[in-house]
Structure 1
Amino acid sequence: MSAPNPILTTIIFVFALQAIILGGMLLSKRQQNPSHIFLSLLIFFFALMALNIALVNVLRSHNMMDTFRYVQLELLFGIGPALYFYTKSVTDRDFRFSKKDYIHFVPLLLEFIFYRTAFYRLGADGLYQTPHHPYTNIYLVEQWLGILSITIYTIISLLVLYRYQTWLKQHFSNLENKSLNWLKAPILIYSAFWIGWMILTEIDRFVFDRELRESYFLPTFVGLAIVTYWIGFKGYLRSRTKTSGYLTKKSTSEELNQNLEWAKKIESTMINERPYLDSELDLAKLSELVDLNPKQVSQTINRSFSKNFYEFVNGYRIEEFKRRTTLPENKKLTLLGLAYECGFKSKSTFNDVFKKTTGKTPSQFVEQEKKKSEKKHSVAR
């Protein structure tokens, strides 16, 4: 165990309790949905972990460690399923938690029961005894299985997130407030935290005989409490906006073959009506303009132009930007101002798309075009 530290213990208590309050606020929302419930569970399980460590230090300072073994708060097997179902619920508008999904939380129930047995109490205490208690190996196996559970669910959650972001690019030309990129960080942090924690503690135990424990134990859980509060805060803000999650229901439209007429129709609409200037242009809007259904438009763009919807629309925006930079009346406008007029919604998206499309930054391109123009005028003279 680490030495009691009132300051770090207080920080853990404060952030962990605030995270739990955020989780409670999510559950108290009038318009309740599954994402609120699973985010609350995710916050709760991680905040519980941090509170667990803070409680250890408080009880230890009062010589009450025997009591702690009867009120163990650690619930590793709830973290993975909560993370997975939260990711599912914010990316899939059709998601419904069914009775068969409860099976994912059966290990959590078994874990709770395990912590109420002598296998846990004697096994955990045995870590600090020489030789170890026979139950210690049982306790360590349970801990590593918990880490394995978190890792597996984390990988699955990242795959769900990847599929969702791929879907987004087939339906939207601007991804701001839709991509859920913020969710990658906590998913990876949470997984890396427990894997790194178990490896670090085992190295400390076998190589350094726990001499390093005082330097990393409490600071690590301070970080966990802060990250947990952060994901709770971000998730709460996210819950106030409408999700753009994909639908998993298969379209009833017949399977389509590449159709040159549809491709010509889409291309003609993009050139003549310039719908890409609308920053809110999405697959549904373009489908209405060309009088085709979304699946027909999406498949035609994929097959005829070898691009997804996001790349297709932003390609036109880049060409429009390049055209407008040559117009004398636009000389006083900033590059970002021109980008917004061409349909982009953010500087980062514009710069990223422009660099991928042209291999240059916008300023490099403009400077290059300026030099070309000056050279032509010089030759003409």
Structure 2
Amino acid sequence: MITSNSILFTIICVFAFQAIILSVLILKKQPKILANKFLALLIFFYAIMAINIVLVNVLKDFNLMHIFRYVQLEMLYGMGPALYFYTLSITKPSFKFTKKNSIHFFPLLIEFIFYRTALYRNGADGLYVDPIPNITYVYLTQQWIGIISILVYSIISIRLLFKYELQLKQYFSKIEDKAYHWLKIPIIIFGFYPILWNILTEVDRFLFDRNLREYYFLPNFVILAITCTWIGFKGYLNKVNPELLIPEISNIEKEDSSPSKDLEFLDKLNQVMILEKPYLNSDINLNKLAELLEMKPKTVSLKINQNCGKNFYDLINSYRVKEFQKLVKTSNLEKLSLLGLAFEAGFNSKSTFNSAFKKNTELTPSQYLKKVKNAS
């Protein structure tokens, strides 16, 4: 056990209960969609994990530790599935949760039952006995399996997000409001927090005889509670578009399956880009470009991937970079606003502009500007 700290206990409870309130607000948020249910569940699971640690220490101070073994709130086996189904719901708005999917939460039911058995109570109590009894290893095994399941679900969720981003790039030139970049941070935090936490506690137990617990134990749960609240706010403010369906063209591969380039398509594409300059429209998408080319969207996407070696997103941004370079050379460099010119070239995000410019020129915009000034 650790020394109780009323200040840290208060901070943990304030943020954890705030996270629970946010989970309820997310659950009631309109329109009611499946993704919000899983996000609310995810935040709730992690919030009660933080509250759990306060509860166990308060009961310990009042010599009521035996009561805690009956009210254990930790739900490791629900965190991974909740995260996975939330990610799946926002990346595939057509997804429907079925009875078959509920099997992912079956281990959570087993965990809940396990915490109400003497096997758990005796095993958990054995953590504070030296040497540790064999029954305690049953409890530790159950903990580590739960932690590994969270890690596995987190890796799958990250893969879903990256795949979804690639799909968006086949169809949209602006993905900042659709790609859920903010979700990558909580997935990493939620996925790796439990495993790093247990590694830390095991190192402390075997190498330092738990003498370091006072320095990392409660501060870690403070960070967890604050993180839960932050994710709750982000999730509540974030808009999930249930009507955003990525067309079938999203599964097209980039590899060049034909031995030669379609020069006719490349010439037609170049002519449209030069004459119409559709890339100046920050909301240009594949459908609009297909209309200008008088072709089907799926065909255009296929030909872009095969003949340009890029997806739609990268192709449009490459033309925007070229337009920016033209504007730099024809503008007053003394009164130059790089971001202003970037927006004029069709970009609508500073981060996207910087990333695309570096990808196409291997220079940052500032480095390119300096190069142009030195050459003039």
Give distance in 2, aligned partners of 1:121 and 1:184: 36
Kept in 2, the 8 Å contact 1:4–1:57? The answer is yes
- For residue 242 of structure 1, what is the aligned residue in structure 2? 241
Farther-moved stretch of structure 1 (360-369 vs 50-59) = 360-369
- For residue 378 of structure 1, what is the aligned residue in structure 2? none
- For residue 25 of structure 1, what is the aligned residue in structure 2? 25
In structure 2, relative to structure 1, the CA distance for the partners of 1:332 and 1:214 (3 Å cut) is closer
Give distance in 1, aligned partners of 2:337 and 2:76: 52
> 1:242 Cα shift?
2.7
Q: How is 1:84-95 mapped onto 2 (pairs within 5 angstroms)? A: 84-95=84-95
- For residue 301 of structure 1, what is the aligned residue in structure 2? 304
Q: Give SS of 2:100's match.
A: helix
Kept in 2, the 8 Å contact 1:56–1:68? The answer is yes
Kept in 1, the 8 Å contact 2:170–2:249? The answer is no
Q: Give SS of 2:178's match.
A: coil
In structure 2, relative to structure 1, the CA distance for the partners of 1:60 and 1:25 (3 Å cut) is same
Kept in 2, the 8 Å contact 1:94–1:247? The answer is no
In structure 2, relative to structure 1, the CA distance for the partners of 1:52 and 1:33 (3 Å cut) is same
> 1:372 Cα shift?
2.7
Q: Quick one: which of 280, 285, 301 aligns to 1:277? A: 280
Give distance in 2, aligned partners of 1:315 and 1:180: 23
- For residue 69 of structure 1, what is the aligned residue in structure 2? 69
Q: Give SS of 1:135's match.
A: helix
Q: What whole-Å deviation, never above 9, does each CA across 1:54-105 have from its counterpart, x for those lacking one?
A: 1112212222111111100001000000011111111112211111100100
- For residue 124 of structure 1, what is the aligned residue in structure 2? 124
> 1:130 Cα shift?
2.7
- For residue 347 of structure 2, what is the aligned residue in structure 1? 344
Give distance in 2, aligned partners of 1:368 and 1:252: 40
Q: How is 1:223-372 mapped onto 2 (pairs within 5 angstroms)? A: 223-238=223-238, 240-242=239-241, 246-247=245-246, 259-328=262-331, 332-372=335-375
Kept in 2, the 8 Å contact 1:92–1:248? The answer is no
Give distance in 2, aligned partners of 1:67 and 1:208: 29
Q: How is 1:186-225 mapped onto 2 (pairs within 5 angstroms)? A: 186-225=186-225
- For residue 57 of structure 1, what is the aligned residue in structure 2? 57
In structure 2, relative to structure 1, the CA distance for the partners of 1:211 and 1:370 (3 Å cut) is closer
> 1:331 Cα shift?
6.4
> 1:261 Cα shift?
3.6
In structure 2, relative to structure 1, the CA distance for the partners of 1:176 and 1:64 (3 Å cut) is same
In structure 2, relative to structure 1, the CA distance for the partners of 1:110 and 1:150 (3 Å cut) is same
Q: Give SS of 1:326's match.
A: helix
Read off the aligned partner of 1:29 and give its amino acid letter: K
> 1:359 Cα shift?
1.8
Give distance in 1, aligned partners of 2:278 and 2:248: 28
In structure 2, relative to structure 1, the CA distance for the partners of 1:131 and 1:330 (3 Å cut) is closer
Give distance in 1, aligned partners of 2:329 and 2:144: 62
Structural RMSD (CA): 2.2
Kept in 2, the 8 Å contact 1:279–1:343? The answer is yes
Kept in 2, the 8 Å contact 1:22–1:233? The answer is yes
> 1:330 Cα shift?
8.0
| Runs of 5+ consecutive residues of structure 1 not aligned to the other structure | 374-381
Give distance in 2, aligned partners of 1:241 and 1:193: 26
Q: What whole-Å deviation, never above 9, does each CA across 1:210-262 have from its counterpart, x for those lacking one?
A: 11112111111111111111111111111x35368554868999xx9775444
Read off the aligned partner of 1:282 and give its amino acid letter: N
Aligned length in residues: 370
- For residue 7 of structure 1, what is the aligned residue in structure 2? 7
Give distance in 1, aligned partners of 2:264 and 2:329: 33
Structure-1-length-normalised TM-score: 0.91
- For residue 377 of structure 1, what is the aligned residue in structure 2? none
| Runs of 5+ consecutive residues of structure 2 not aligned to the other structure | none
In structure 2, relative to structure 1, the CA distance for the partners of 1:241 and 1:84 (3 Å cut) is closer
